[in-house]
Amino acid sequence: MSLIDERQDFSTIADLFLLHGSMQSPAFLDGRLCARLAMHDIDPAAWLEEVCLVLGVEQPRDEPSAERFLAWRRQTLDALSGGDLGYEPLLPDELFSLAERARGLKEWTQGFLEVIEDAGEAPREAWSTALREALEDLEGIAAMPADLEESAENEGDLFALAEHARMAAMLLYTEQHPGKPQVEDAESPTRH
């Protein structure tokens, strides 16, 4: 299996950042990637350039690193455009503390909103009320304190906020790309 087909997760990308001398979380850049793909796409070369700029390097250190960065972009685009609505933000998983996961969600949201803000007011005029409200909610997530204490209640709240961010991303993609993803209409009869 090539790297381009391999599932990219938070830890894999974070390790790749470390290989490039960066202690940054990939969550912020993943938020930017998602919003860029949802708004108007970002071609592979421009994506590599953006990753390198964030990492403070001129180019990926080797071909497998470049392939993994490109696989990250491809995976995100495929998930956003897929009919199963299976997009998941690249966030720290259960192996991380609740505070680290909250910080990851906050960073993802900040990156996502930065791209939205850079787009200006023109695209917003065509957006639905639901999307505008979802983006306003993301502003609250971006401003939330990330020092959550470990508790079942906080765990549930964080899950709900992450799901809200995921759905806002999918809503943005579907409004910017009418007819994509091609989801099945629940009202249409099933043919056998």
CB 109 within 8 A of CB 35: no
pLDDT of residue 191 exceeding 80, the answer is no
CB 98 within 8 A of CB 154: yes
Instruction: Give the whole-angstrom CA distance, residue 132 versus residue 144.
Output: 19
Task: Give percent of the chain above pLDDT 90.
Answer: 77
Q: pLDDT tens digit string along 19-62?
A: 999 999 999 999 999 999 999 889 999 999 999 999 999 999 99
75 Cβ neighbours under 8 A, 6+ residues apart: 7, 8
User: How many residues in total does the chain contain?
Assistant: 192
Task: Say if residue 52 is exposed, middle or buried (CB neighbours under 10 Å; 0-12, 13-18, 19+).
Answer: middle
Instruction: Give the whole-angstrom CA distance, residue 90 versus residue 10.
Output: 5
Cα distances (Å, whole numbers) of residue 45 to 55, 104, 113: 15, 26, 23
112 Cβ neighbours under 8 A, 6+ residues apart: 31, 32, 34, 35, 138, 165, 168, 169
Radius of gyration, CA atoms only, the chain: 17
pLDDT at 125: 86
Q: pLDDT tens digit string along 126-159?
A: 899 999 999 999 999 999 988 889 999 999 999 9
